[in-house]
Amino acid sequence: MTQVVHVPLGDRAYDIHIGRDLMGQAGALIEPVLCRAKVAIVTDSNVAPLHLHRLKEALQSAGIAHAALILPAGEATKSWAHLSQTIDFFLNEKIERRDVVIALGGGVIGDLVGFAAAILRRGVRFVQIPTSLLAQVDSSVGGKTGINAVQGKNLIGAFHQPSLVLADIDVLDTLTPRDFLAGYGEVVKYGLLGNAPFFEWLEKNGPALIAGDPAARSEAVRVSCQMKADIVVRDETEQGDRALLNLGHTFCHALEAATGYSDRLLHGEGVAIGCALAFETSARLGLCSQEVPSRVRAHFQAMGMKTDISDIDAAMPEPEDLFALMGQDKKVVAGQLNFIMARDIGQAFVTADVSEAVILSVLEASMDPRSA
């Protein structure tokens, strides 16, 4: 059964379809948003062999002309060079302002293609077909698009909402266990930031979700998308509540920068570590009891996930250097770094009242948990 989450943003409203075999139905689902029967697809070298043929068949059966660009897989693709290559592809395909382009892939492809769509001819429409759990529950929804800079992650971009999102649960079967678990870090984040019953549900159903239960996976994606949609509708351009979606990300983005945006640390792995560190910081600030971060850490560990900086298979900078990397975070306002802290599971909030000394102590302990 296909479930639909509606994102009511006026004339930019769109639907998120969640279910099985949506790739096979893509032509029929995309056709209503087209002004003419032509699209341009961008995907990557990992996704193309698995899913591009199926998408092309679905488009062909609906009479939709299409061309595809295959980019290298990996975070390094979110760059000026690949943005330029994508724009050139769209222009060479004579994509017009009323046309639609398709992002077929994980968060990297979705972010890159969305940004290209935002700036091509001052804005063309795009469809997200996320092929990773992380992209299905987070990056494909909400309109954040962009690329990375040498100075930090996602520092160049635009808000540009998709016209449609197709979250095919079946494609998750093609993910490696590591990639699936990385996406699961973003799923858990939703429970931690504002939905304690969902976190409790994950504690019970997480193993079934990991094992491949399609009903559990559909429900996890639906709840995550609904939570994100509700927050985006309240605060589309991150002036307030939307910052809560960055729970764990201030730590995460610094760790990703420190590892060179490489596969030594996947984004979702960084989110899991970042959430554990955010709750540990909250406890040290006296905002919540120590039992809360212990419970968060226990669930991640029960799922076989990273929870500490020491779990990263790479030489890491000193705590002071990691803290300096946090200074490039997008939540910096007037030179002041804002953090997402929590009073309990499901009770996150934004604050600037976090001392450097506390953060450094948390980072140091996470680098050597035995000394904590």
DSSP state letter for 213: -
Considering the candidates 144, 297, 306, 330, report the single residue annotated as catalytic.
Answer: 144
Is there a catalytic annotation at residue 253? yes
By three-state DSSP, how is residue 214 classified?
Answer: helix
Is there a catalytic annotation at residue 57? no
Please, are residues 346 and 192 in contact by the beta-carbon 8 Å criterion? yes
By three-state DSSP, how is residue 76 classified?
Answer: helix
CA distance 164 to 342: 33
Considering the candidates 93, 238, 256, 280, report the single residue annotated as catalytic.
Answer: 238
Angle at 95 between CA 19 and CA 131, to 5 degrees: 25
Q: Is the dihedral of CA 216, 243, 248, 314 positive or negative?
A: positive
Task: Look up residue 355 and give its two tokens.
Answer: 């001392």
Considering the candidates 51, 56, 222, 267, report the single residue annotated as catalytic.
Answer: 267
* Sole residue written with tokens 């030179």: 335
Please, are residues 334 and 340 in contact by the beta-carbon 8 Å criterion? no
Q: What is the DSSP string of 324-360?
A: HHHTT-TT-BTTBPPEEEESSTT-EEEES---HHHHH
CA distance 142 to 224: 12
Task: Look up residue 337 and give its two tokens.
Answer: 């770094």
Considering the candidates 56, 153, 222, 253, report the single residue annotated as catalytic.
Answer: 253
Cβ atoms within 10 Å of 25's Cβ, excluding its own: 18
Pairing of strands 3-7, 14-19: antiparallel
Give the residue ranges of DSSP H helices in the chain.
26-30, 53-61, 80-92, 107-119, 133-134, 177-194, 196-211, 214-234, 249-258, 267-284, 291-302, 319-326, 356-367
Pairing of strands 38-44, 65-71: parallel
* Whole-number Cα distances in Å, 111 to 70, 102, 290: 15, 12, 36
* Whole-number Cα distances in Å, 77 to 112, 113, 147: 8, 11, 8
Is there a catalytic annotation at residue 249? yes
Considering the candidates 78, 82, 242, 297, report the single residue annotated as catalytic.
Answer: 242
Considering the candidates 153, 249, 297, 330, report the single residue annotated as catalytic.
Answer: 249
Task: Look up residue 159 and give its two tokens.
Answer: 């808000």
Considering the candidates 94, 122, 204, 370, report the single residue annotated as catalytic.
Answer: 122
Considering the candidates 75, 93, 186, 269, report the single residue annotated as catalytic.
Answer: 186
Task: Look up residue 54 and give its two tokens.
Answer: 């199926």
Is there a catalytic annotation at residue 122? yes
Considering the candidates 46, 195, 246, 338, report the single residue annotated as catalytic.
Answer: 246
By three-state DSSP, how is residue 38 classified?
Answer: strand
Is there a catalytic annotation at residue 186? yes
Catalytic residue numbers read 122, 144, 186, 228, 238, 242, 246, 249, 253, 267
